[in-house]
Structure 1
Amino acid sequence: MYVLIFSDAGGAAALLVVRGCHTALTAVVSNRSNGAGGNFFCEYDATHQMSNSKGELVSIRALVEFCSTTNCNSRQSTSANVFNDCNDQTTDYLLGNEVLNCYECTAQQGKNCNEKDRKCSSKKYCTKQIVHLDGGFQLSKSCSNINVLGIDNACANYDVVTNPGGVAVHNKYSQCYCRNKQLCNSGSSLGVVFTVSMLLLVHVMSTVVA
């Protein structure tokens, strides 16, 4: 079971929630088990990087929790303590007794992502996201304390069909997480790849379930 709670990248006050069976939602088999909190594994990032509807990179609060008992993914976004007992981002976050360093950049069609210009560090994972949309693309690299795939050093590749104005638009979306070496979100350093086709009859790239 799985729950993802995050603040709205558009600036709305309410927290957004995705909950359900992790494999059904992501097509990825997580290897997360019990964490520091007991029978659940929960990671929290107070400054998670995410693109808003304008393609701008913004900082949001985000939590991801994995659990394996019946109806265990019942964490409520309305609770005042929703983030308080989520701390598996603080365990096993060092690489060879050093903080993990990652490339941080955002590139769009016609503009290079200059990896050597910026870096982020002191978080648990390096990330890379690529969105191919209507002939163009957006690439972003950063670091995060949450991993929604629930498996290290992996990418999930999705074929996505959106339907703005009743016209089907075929897109591709890739999300990668790694922590096996310093600056691991460069090039093709990730070996495990999952591919799934998705049909979304909405104009956004994510589905929010209460």
Structure 2
Amino acid sequence: MRSMENIYICLASPIVVSILCLRREWRKSMIFILAGMTGYLLAAYVTSFFAGLIGCDTVITSHAISPAVEEVIKFLPIVFYLLVFEPKRRDCSNALLLVAVGFATFENVVFMTYYGAADLLDVLIRGFGTGAMHELCCCTVALGVFLLWDQPWLRAMGTFAFLCTAITFHAIFNIVVSGSTFSMWVGSAIPITIFGIYLAFFHKKL
């Protein structure tokens, strides 16, 4: 785990410097990206804790524990942002996507560090697939925020339902990409395709 902390320090340092230098409207974006990267590090700790507590192997951890932990932790900065600053819906949606960007970026760097980056095609597929998956999951949660956050009686239950949907999709993605190389390609193509459809038809409506 020590190398992961070193990677985090290396990636987070220029972002912290930029936060200190940028103007207020730009600073917020970098803070959310940093929150996403920090969330991945925290998710790794929490996942390892539960895996050790339950006694799961790496495969079960990736399929059953990681999706739930990661999606919940990605959503925590947004909950804080919603409750404390009461932003507009568009700002909240953008914040969710930026958290996902930071999270996916750090995850991809850690993956390449541990498993190598010799095959450019696999790296491209992994990079775009993982990025699209995390952002698609955040878009799912953002949809719940858009539709339900102004209705207190549906806020908690409805947001939880959308969060569970994101967790389920994340788990399916992890299961599919953990197979053969072809399975990884297919699994990565699914979120890329869905995210492309979202950008083409629904992005401007939110």
TM-score for the superposition, normalised by structure 1: 0.29
TM-score for the superposition, normalised by structure 2: 0.30
Structure number with higher helix proportion: 2
